[in-house]
Amino acid sequence: MADTNRDLDAPAPRACYRKLHRYKYQLMEPYTHETDVRGFAASTSYLRLTEVGHLEIKRTYAWDGPSGPTIDTRDFMRGSLVHDAMYQLIRLEVLPPKFRRRSDRLLRDICRADGMSAFRTWYVYLAVRCFGASSAKPGTDKPDEIVCVP
């Protein structure tokens, strides 16, 4: 429905939005997870890692879920959330790349705890160890494009 009360000579109000290009899921409530990452504090708009390893993921955080030739199953979602958050902290260079292996182990351990079979957990872990380096490469997290109209 058009705004019939707006002065047509006045500039139209701006509406700005963010174009998401690589996310499938959005967290609907905050999530916390204890990690074994110690001695580093990291913080972004959506993520916070304390020096004692407490990871806080804020509501509305978006992530792409399980990657690769796989199926997004319930036993994979929590692991993919934490793993993607940790990789994002590495890409943003607020967490050193040496924590990639720990992030991969977190994925493995969470998926196993959530009921994923031992075999599937093994090949998921093997896949991120073999092919995950480019996804955690520091400096590769491009900001989403912000568009304002009109």
Q: Is residue 56 part of a domain?
A: yes
For residue 6, is pLDDT > 70? no
Q: With H, G, I as helix, E, B as strand and everything else as coil, classify residue 85.
A: helix
Reported residue count of the chain is 150
Q: Is residue 54 part of a domain?
A: yes
Q: How far apart are CA 144 and CA 76, in angstroms?
A: 26
Q: How far apart are CA 141 and CA 19, in angstroms?
A: 14
Question: Strand pairing partners for 63?
Answer: 25
Q: Is residue 14 part of a domain?
A: no
Helix (H) or strand (E) holding 56: strand 54-57
Give per-residue pLDDT as tens, 82-140: 999 999 999 999 999 999 999 999 999 999 999 999 999 999 999 999 998 888 898 77
Q: How confident is the model at residue 19 (pLDDT cuts 50, 70, 90)?
A: low
Q: Contact, 42 vs 56, CB < 8 A?
A: no
Domain count, the chain: 1
Give per-residue pLDDT as tens, 28-43: 999 999 999 999 899 9
Q: Which domain holds residue 29?
A: 21-149
Q: Is residue 1 part of a domain?
A: no
Q: How far apart are CA 111 and CA 43, in angstroms?
A: 25
**Cα end-to-end span (Å), the chain:** 17
Q: Is residue 4 part of a domain?
A: no
Q: Is residue 101 part of a domain?
A: yes
What share of the chain has pLDDT > 70, as a percent? 89
Q: Is residue 78 part of a domain?
A: yes
Q: Is residue 42 part of a domain?
A: yes
